[in-house]
Structure 1
Amino acid sequence: MRLLVLGGTLFLGRAVVEAALGRGWSVTTFNRGQSGEDVPGVRVLRGNRLEPSDLHRAVEAGPWDAVIDMAAYVPKQVLALSRSLATVSRRYALISTVSVYEGWPAEPLSEASPVLDCPPDADEDFGPPDVEDGPTRYGRLKAGCERAVLASFGRDRTLIIRPGVVLGPHEYVGRLPWWLRRVAAGGRVVAPGAPDRTIQPVDVRDTAEFVLNTLADDRMGMFNVAGPTNRDTFADLLDACKRATASDAEFVWFPDDVLLRRGVRQWSELPLWRTHPGVWCVDASAAFAVGLRSRPLAETVAATWAWMQTAPTLLNERSAEIGLTRQHEAEILASVDYH
């Protein structure tokens, strides 16, 4: 299998490249070389997808059995790129997101759920501003990126992957790493909501394997990718962090309404905590039916902690927004509202 991976140095892109190389596939990455280190063993094409001359080199380096686009954010750009690659690649796999659904994060989702409206030639300014409990510009633009690829490759040659929350080694957003560092520090830890609230993150390595298996089986279409429903809870996540770090942390569970009154920002100050009912209700049964596997959550947590022991400090702009300050946490722990 000859793959062209657009991106391929960070998190899921890196996991895809490593897994493909492990299968003995020929992998070429196309990126600017600014976001992460190249995986040893790949053929590297340096270039900017916005530069026609750079893109021409990626076309000339073909043909490809498949293109995997890890960094599609602006429909207009994806439309131009996919049109150029349509003549030299059999298939195009786009890594999208569950944020493309109109109902995210307010309601349960399946592949049949309505998708946000965005034309395939939209630019980065398309659509209204984000709202807390509804559609985001990011999700709307991703929906446009999906339409752009479909316009270029057609349904028979397009694979669209819509992940929910992906965790594991090399995570640059910093959600699981924040929890691991906080739990490792020990003491009383603010834990959000109900301990038995179910969650369904999926391991980055399982996601990567599913992408490659689906391509190998020549199975096109659209798939939500998430962990199983009703298997793991938030308490399972924090307990796994405690075991992985050998911590003496004591979890103090605060109801949602208390945290909201205290001004705690969902999804960022307490990562992975969100009260909207659709966040952890993503139907991934179609993916499981064709081979998606989801390893135990404790394995994902332990592997992430092991990676963190030698990993560089997270510098991604999104990671700077993650986590409750110790002062804010102390104020919550001392809150009379809870007692």
Structure 2
Amino acid sequence: MRLLVLGGTRFAGRAVVEAALGRGWEVTVFHRGQQEPPAGVRSLHGDRTAPDGLAALAEGEWDAVVDTWSAAPRAVRGSARLLRGRAGRYVYVSSCSVYEWAPPAGYGEDATVVEGAEAGAEQTDYARDKRGGELAAVEEFGADHCVLVRSGLILGPYENVGRLPWWLGRIERGGPVLAPGPRELPLQYIDVRDLAEWILGAVERELSGPYNLMSPQGHVTMGELLDACVAAVGGSAELRWTDPDVILDAGIEPWTQLPVWVPPGSDLHDALHGADVSRAVTTGLRCRPVTETVADTWRWLQDIGGTAPMRPDRTEKGLDPEVEAKVLAASAEGVPGTTP
């Protein structure tokens, strides 16, 4: 198979490239030249936001294109329009954020979506831009030749958003760790490598349409995630499970200050950890154990010196140590039914 990846040097794009190379595919990577792609690819350079920035893609044919763009959708329209007729399938890595807020627990791909940003407009907000990217891809390639990957929380090696790396770094510091309860809180996420493998399988199967892509509900809990972090890192960290109300009353922001976590029963939890992924599962989605995701991410962090690269267009993640210490000091008891 001949694959073109737009980007391909960071996180999701890089995982797709590595998975395709592992399958023996012929891979072309179109990027700005700021980072080295994996060995074994053909590199083309260009900037999708610049005039004539797609010139390097003027020739060539591919079986599929994978695009992870998340800013103004005109970049998706431009690349899809240029590649139409020279690529068999356009895979756009979108987001579950495209669903109109707040989708109910158990929402499927037929849930109401937001109005997409106009393909020629400036950057708006993440949800409208991602939906605009979906519409641009479908408009240029046709619905039967587009795969819309509505991913949720993505974790794993190369993460440049700062969620799992922050937890691993915090646990490495040791001591009492504010662990947001309850332990049994169900989470949904997708290991970036499982995302990549499903995408390649979708190309092989000639799939089309939207797919929610994250682990099935019940795949992991907050307790299992943080236990895996402690096991991977080792050291002196002690998880102090803390009631959600205590955390919220302290003014701590779910999702950003305590990455991954959102309080149970909230619209945010239903939206981020309550999707129906049966369509993806029936088309080949397989999710590795959380222990593997965490251990491999920790190993990658150690290999690059312990500090994960961060995307400049994403908010800073993590909890200030002083705030954490105050909340732990003020809360002598953990979540009922768990070990403090």
TM-score normalised over the length of structure 1: 0.91
- Report whether the alignment pairs 1:301 with 2:273: no
Structure 1 segments of 4+ aligned residues over 6 angstroms from their partners = none
User: Which of 124, 127, 145 is equivalent to 1:157?
Assistant: 145
Q: Structure 1 319/57 Cα, relative in aligned 2: closer, same or farther at 3 Å? A: closer
Match for residue 337 of structure 2? Answer: none
SS at match of 2:52: helix
- Report whether the alignment pairs 1:37 with 2:33: no
| Residue correspondence of structure 1 range 61-100 to structure 2 within 5 A | 62-100=60-98
- Report whether the alignment pairs 1:236 with 2:224: yes
Q: Structure 1 336/244 Cα, relative in aligned 2: closer, same or farther at 3 Å? A: closer
Structure 2 Cα separation of the partners of residues 270 and 281 of structure 1: 19
User: Which of 315, 324, 332 is equivalent to 2:319?
Assistant: 324
**Shift of residue 52 of structure 1?**
4.9
Q: Structure 1 258/337 Cα, relative in aligned 2: closer, same or farther at 3 Å? A: farther
SS at match of 1:228: coil
SS at match of 2:80: helix
**Shift of residue 106 of structure 1?**
6.4
Structure 2 Cα separation of the partners of residues 106 and 183 of structure 1: 33
SS at match of 1:212: helix
Q: Structure 1 106/324 Cα, relative in aligned 2: closer, same or farther at 3 Å? A: farther
Deviations 1:246-305 (A, max 9, x none): 233221112222111111111111111112231210111100001100011111011111
SS at match of 2:273: coil
Would you say the 8 A contact 1:59–1:88 is kept in 2? no
Match for residue 132 of structure 1? Answer: none
Bigger CA drift: 62-71 or 44-53?
A: 44-53
Would you say the 8 A contact 1:258–1:337 is kept in 2? no
Would you say the 8 A contact 1:3–1:66 is kept in 2? yes
User: Which of 119, 123, 127 is equivalent to 2:121?
Assistant: 123
Would you say the 8 A contact 2:162–2:316 is kept in 1? no
**Shift of residue 50 of structure 1?**
2.9
- Report whether the alignment pairs 1:142 with 2:136: no
Q: Structure 1 58/212 Cα, relative in aligned 2: closer, same or farther at 3 Å? A: same
**Shift of residue 53 of structure 1?**
3.1
| Residue correspondence of structure 1 range 275-286 to structure 2 within 5 A | 275=263, 276-278=268-270, 279-286=272-279
Match for residue 134 of structure 1? Answer: none
Would you say the 8 A contact 1:98–1:104 is kept in 2? no
**Identity score, percent:** 44
Q: Structure 1 3/271 Cα, relative in aligned 2: closer, same or farther at 3 Å? A: same
Bigger CA drift: 14-23 or 81-90?
A: 81-90
SS at match of 1:314: coil
Deviations 1:172-192 (A, max 9, x none): 111111111111222111011
The amino acid of 1:83's aligned partner reads R
Bigger CA drift: 182-191 or 293-302?
A: 182-191
Match for residue 314 of structure 1? Answer: 308
Q: Which runs of 5+ in 1 are unaligned?
A: 127-136
Bigger CA drift: 153-162 or 275-284?
A: 275-284
SS at match of 1:50: coil
Q: Structure 1 23/104 Cα, relative in aligned 2: closer, same or farther at 3 Å? A: farther
**Shift of residue 57 of structure 1?**
2.3
User: Which of 225, 236, 239 is equivalent to 1:248?
Assistant: 236
Q: Which runs of 5+ in 2 are unaligned?
A: 335-340
